[in-house]
Amino acid sequence: MTALRRPDSVLLALFLTICTFGIIVLSSASSVESFQSLGDPNAMLKKQIIALLIGLLLMVLVMRLNLDKLRKWYLPLLVGSIFLSILPFIPHIGTQLLGAKRWILIGGFFFQPSELVKLALVLFLSTWLIQKQQQFEEPKKALIPLLALLGTICVILIMQPDLGTAIVILGIGMVLYFAAGAPFKHFLWIAMLFVAGLVLIIQIAPYRAARLTVFLNPGKDTQGTAYHINQSLLAIGSGGIFGRGLGHSIQKFNYLPESAGDSIFAIAAEELGFILSLCIIALYVGILWRGVTLARRASDPSTRLLMIGIVSWFTIQAFVNIGALTSLLPLTGEPLPFISNGGSSLVISLVGVGILLNASKTVRV
């Protein structure tokens, strides 16, 4: 048995494949919106390709870092990312798009700090939870500080509002907590807190109650609150087995909101069909399977948790997005990793991939 000296080739192939899928799908899904808003049907695609190249460069650089030396930066990175997530609320710094304050403008580019929070949280918890393993039976030492951290982040995100990212953050935190060996009885306490929090945020913002009603009855108010999910289901259903063909989507012509962003999976299903849509889902499943398989072989507990956290981040986010567009979950705004339009998401995700591939070099096979 020898240690890997190169990044895991299977993981690398999976990520490069899904990024290729993303560029192909985006080239069609973004054309109408890009032409209408920027006067060039390829403008959004060009920006995404630039983000992809930057992300790949950072991925390669991160793969060469020493993970042990990198760990001392986990806490400052988390604190800094939380601070950045507050900046969108500050006038002349934050930018409001589509009714949400989630972005800051840096050098002519929109940056979404919550994407950095996901990465920073995984890095921090992968080390902190290992340090707290012997104190899991004492809620004041581990569970309560963890919930306070996750709660603080989620309150900031919900105020933006960005419920989808808050759900992903909670999912990442819970996966890492229980993967670190926390007692299962804590799950019941967390579940009760989650339900109470959900009831509270629905009361604060009635439109979330309307989304829940639509989830339970998509046929109600099809031209109002349920418009988005019905157009998504129409796009997916009209794709059939083999799809309309790349570039032949009807829904992207201003029928389906966010066709190049959060709703891109529906456009992919419409154009590529059921079989290739399953292939996209299979790529995320493959990333999860390979990542967890390698993590189980890691000798260092912190590295093991780090790998589980990164693949969980990608797969939780993917299935929150796909579940919402297929009406398996209430509709939330969350990009599909490596495929949806968005430079912040793509670049930060590829940095996460670089760290994952870096960690895979230490796994003994």
Q: Is residue 203 one of the residues assigned to a domain?
A: yes
According to the model, what pLDDT value does residue 83 have?
94
- Compute the distance between CA of residue 317 and CA of residue 311 in angstroms, rounded to an integer: 10
Amino acid making up residue 21? F
Number of C-beta neighbours around residue 210 at 10 A: 16
According to the model, what pLDDT value does residue 3 have?
45
Mean pLDDT of 19-46: 93
Q: Is residue 2 one of the residues assigned to a domain?
A: no
**Mean pLDDT for all residues in the chain:** 90
- Compute the distance between CA of residue 221 and CA of residue 260 in angstroms, rounded to an integer: 24
Q: Is residue 98 one of the residues assigned to a domain?
A: yes
- Compute the distance between CA of residue 231 and CA of residue 237 in angstroms, rounded to an integer: 10
Query: 236 or 209: which carries more pLDDT confidence?
Result: 236
* Single pTM value for the model: 0.93
Whether omega for the bond prior to residue 161 falls within 30 degrees of 0, making it cis, is: yes
Q: Is residue 345 one of the residues assigned to a domain?
A: yes
Mean pLDDT of 266-271: 96
Domain encompassing residue 299: 9-360
- With bands split at pLDDT 50, 70 and 90, how would you rate the model's confidence at 120? very high
Q: Is residue 265 one of the residues assigned to a domain?
A: yes
Count the domains in the chain: 1
Own/partner long-range contacts of 196-204 (Cβ < 8 Å, ≥24 apart): 197/154, 201/158, 201/163
Q: Is residue 127 one of the residues assigned to a domain?
A: yes
Three-class secondary structure of residue 14 per DSSP: helix
According to the model, what pLDDT value does residue 198 have?
80
Q: Is residue 365 one of the residues assigned to a domain?
A: no
Three-class secondary structure of residue 239 per DSSP: coil
- Compute the distance between CA of residue 342 and CA of residue 322 in angstroms, rounded to an integer: 17
Number of C-beta neighbours around residue 32 at 10 A: 18
Q: Is residue 62 one of the residues assigned to a domain?
A: yes
